[in-house]
Structure 1
Amino acid sequence: MTDGPDTPDDDGRGSAVPHGSFSRAVKLASLPIGFAGRTTVGMGRRLVGAPANAVLTEVQLRTAEQIFAVLGELKGGAMKFGQAMSVYEAAVPPELMEPYREAFVRLQDDAPPMPVKTVHRIFAGELGPRWREQLIELDDTPAAAASIGQVHRGRWFDGREVAVKVQYPGAAAAMRSDLRQIGRLSRLFAVAFPSIDVKPLAEELAERVREELDYGLEAEAQRAFAAAFADDPQIVVPDVVAHTETILVTTWMESKASLAQIISDGLPSERDHYGELFARFLFAGPRRVGMLHADPHPGNYRILDDGRLGVVDYGAVARVPGGLPPVIGRLLRAAVDDDYATVVDGLREEGFIKPGVRIDEEIIRSYLEPFVEPARHEVFTFSREWMREQAQRVSRPAREGLGTAMKINLPPSYLLIHRVWSGGLAILSQLDATAPFRGILEESLPGFAD
């Protein structure tokens, strides 16, 4: 991912101050004002005879529209929350999501590099004044932008080529400030998504963002993945060389492209090959490492010359000791077997359906189809057309679409799992990949093949 904080401005004291903190707060504060206006309009319409359920739906849609429009203009923690909440974007008509999507794409392309003197000062502060004795070569031009920092190519003192990730100054403060603001807006989000417990979701996200800011935790996660996949013939994870609080040094992995290039112009055979490796890696991580790589962005998946798939960026991981919860596999198997009474009961027990909320089995069957259909077939062909059909059905303001989405809760413990599963399906569909998806589930998803 390339969403970062606002461009840092050197304050002359060895730190950097992010521009725009005040403007971010103003934009976030504007959301409750808009909500008050929409609520007043809704009450007025009820007085002149509009059906109560129709008015609520309009208020929900307009609230969602403003939420995503404002989040799309923000970076830092607000942008992270927008990413997390975007798992519900299929419930919102496409025209309302467009401002968020456009801004998100713009942010991915607009992470300006830090000044060279700032980068060098960070190295001196983190590695010591004689840092060039450790990092004996450094390309001052960033090779890539990461979630909250930028990556430089260099050479370590032992001769190894390395990738050096440097956190943006001010990134932590900006994210924490935004997340504090968002934590105060749970009432507003509850209007657009009344059956979602937003406050614990915001708290869970804040905790995950704090982990992502900690390069020590990222180094620990990457070491675990590197050890688990060290002898894998198809997956490559770079080794960790060194780290400090805001610098992470890993072995350089030479690649000719990313999964984004395969999505753009890959051959059918490449799409199938790397799509299958991508899916296998996502599901194998929890089984082998007890962690789920939780940033399914095409740029994090690198195409190596020998046909292997390299995977980078371990700042966002879901820690799942023992693997993915077996209940996921059991409920997915029940759905494949068309036992939706068991599915509804299981979703209720896991907190996806809150007490007192009633959802018909047929409605759940339709709503979960994007997750279930690929698991029915030994070999499944994902496509943009298939994904578009699923999204269009779910986004219809009818019983099987919008109304259902606004009744589904997302338990905090499933936040990253849901993000990865939804994002993984989207990437496989962008690839137009044909893969033995059911076999992958039977191999790596506990409870599915039992």
Structure 2
Amino acid sequence: MTDDTSKGQARPVPASRIARLGRLSTMTAGVAGNMAARGLGQLGQGKRPTMRDLLLTPANVRRVTDQLAQMRGAAMKVGQLVSMDTGDVLPAELTEIMARLRSDAHFMPPAQLKKVLKAEWGEGWLRRFDKFDVRPIAAASIGQVHRARLKDGTDLAIKVQYPGVARSIDSDVSNVGALVRMSGLLPRGFDLAPYLEEARKQLHEETDYLREARYLTQFRLLLAGDDRFGLPQVRDDLTTPDILSMTYVPGAPIEDVAELPQETRDHVARSLIDLLLRELFEFGVMQTDPNFANYRYDPETGRIVLLDFGATRQIDPGVVALYSRLFSAGMAQDQGAYADILMELGVLAPDTDTAHRDQILKMMEMGFADLRGAPTYDFAATDVPRQMQVKGMALAEDGFVPPPLPIDVLFLQRKFGGVFLLAAKLRARVPVAEMLQSYLTNRTDCVA
């Protein structure tokens, strides 16, 4: 969820299925018109235009991202999932188009917002508040967040769901999937269907704010007494399936920590990595969205503020056991165990080309060797992630198409990558190998 709407615009969210389909149809027609005009122009110059060159013009990219961002909901979520979870195999152009959706900050105009609040809270809802800011402090694909203060002085953060988002999920996903396929930019053999289905299921879960409230309360209990973290408290009396009301917890953007002393940067990164390991190996439940805006930092208390539990999910114990075995094999330099474990995880398939399989195993060992290389891992000094990205793109260009990953694996990889990127952003130095080993030591499933 983006936490800066200062550059965003108040744009009504199309609520009906017909209106949302109309948006997509208008966008598609506009893109097709641009392609036709550009193609005729190139033919007139004696050039032979290609589909990619015609589609990926600045005007078309702007049209697609603006329309999907204005629709929010599934239209925006599919783009976020595709760009974040499959960016290593999709063409860079398509990844860039979809990734732009992550930074959008359009929000509902006040009139539409008040209509939603009246429908949820009834007439006279404003009398309960001393103040309610109609301009949101955060906006994302599902809803937007507002500051408010009750008559008793309690400061709240209130997340309001965009109207029509829940009802339009299934049709939105189908329509956006058709649009992506129409682009002709997906690698040959790439199966988009599992990602579309996961986007559909995740959206249905995330639009249930009562579900998110339960997970927020669960994490408050799990982290009770841990002074490293601060979490909002749910206000049940003002929470509905479409409105999540919480106490407001102050904090600055987590990226601001990058300007603080090394000791503070290390502490924040180490705390988040430790939380990730606890979620995986102790809690069995994980907040799987590593968007930087879901973390904030309170310089007065030194606490990391944890926000947005809509993407929280239970992790299959069998998947946890496989990751435990994989990490143990990596830390013990047992390269012979990699292939079998990756096969069980679904990263490799029985029909994976031998050359591709060998390259993936080499990349796996490269990552573990980097982790084992020094007692303290310097996130700012390593270039191994970049090397692995280059090798991953080379695999894609050579025709490798990964099998559809199990959903738990998909979300875990997203969380690992996001926390790594944040630690790199903070230029942190963390004893990752030692921390990981401490969680593996007492597990009985570490033997491959």
Map residues 249-260 of structure 1 onto 2, 5 A cutoff: 249-255=245-251, 257-260=252-255
Deviation, 1:414, is 1.9
Give the C-alpha shift of residue 380 in structure 1: 0.7
SS at match of 2:131: strand
Residues 336 and 372, structure 1, Cα contact 8 Å, conserved in 2: yes
Q: 1:245 aligns with which of 241, 265, 276?
A: 241
> Which runs of 5 or more residues in structure 2 are unaligned?
33-49
What is the percent sequence identity of the aligned residues?
A: 27
Counterpart code for 2:240:
T
Alignment partner, residue 366 of structure 1: 362
Aligned-residue CA RMSD in angstroms? 4.0
Is 1:138 the counterpart of 2:165? The answer is: no
Matches within 5 A, 1:177-326: 177-184=171-178, 192-193=186-187, 197-242=191-236, 243-255=239-251, 257-263=252-258, 265-304=259-298, 305-320=300-315, 325-326=320-321
Task: Give 3-state SS (helix, strand or coil) of 1:230's partner.
Answer: coil
Change (3 A) 1:335 1:65: farther
Structure 1: gaps (5+ residues): 33-57
Q: Is the 8 A contact 2:294 2:308 kept in 1?
A: yes
Deviations 1:129-160 (Å, cap 9, x if unpaired)?
23235444323332222442221122245542
Paired with 1:22 and 1:387, the residues of 2 have a C-alpha distance of 45
The TM-score, its normalising length taken from structure 1, stands at 0.77
Distance 1:403 1:246 in 2: 46
- Between the aligned partners of 1:189 and 1:356, the Cα distance in structure 2 is 28
1:338 alignment partner, one of 333, 336, 344: 333
- Of 156, 164, 188 in structure 2, the residue corresponding to residue 162 of structure 1 is 156
Q: What amino acid is aligned across from residue 309 of structure 1 in structure 2?
A: I
- Whole-Å separation in 1 of the counterparts to 2:65 and 2:200: 18
User: In structure 2, which of residues 88, 91, 97 is the aligned counterpart of residue 90 of structure 1?
Assistant: 88
Answer yes or no: is the 8 Å Cα contact 1:25–1:178 preserved in 2: no
Partners of 1:419 and 1:63 in 2: CA distance: 32
Which whole-Å CA distance do the structure 2 matches of 1:28 and 1:21 have between them? 10
Q: CA deviation at 1:266?
A: 3.7
Shift of 1:202: 2.0
Q: Which residue is 1:350 aligned to? A: 345
Partner of 1:163: helix, strand, or coil? strand
1:412 aligns with 2:407: yes
* Corresponding letter in the other structure for 2:248: W
Find the aligned partners of 1:175 and 1:29 in 2 and give their Cα distance. 22
| Alpha-carbon distance in 1 for matches of 2:28, 2:283 | 38
> Helix, strand or coil: the match of 2:226?
coil
Equivalent runs, 1:10-21 vs 2, <5 Å: 21=21
Q: Count the aligned residue pairs.
A: 414
Whichever residue aligns with residue 22 of structure 1, its letter is G
Shift of the 168–285 alpha-carbon distance from structure 1 to 2, 3 Å rule, reads: same
Distance in 1 separating the partners of 2:346 and 2:413: 14
User: Is contact 1:164-1:249 (8 Å) kept?
Assistant: yes
CA shift, 1:224, in A, is 0.6
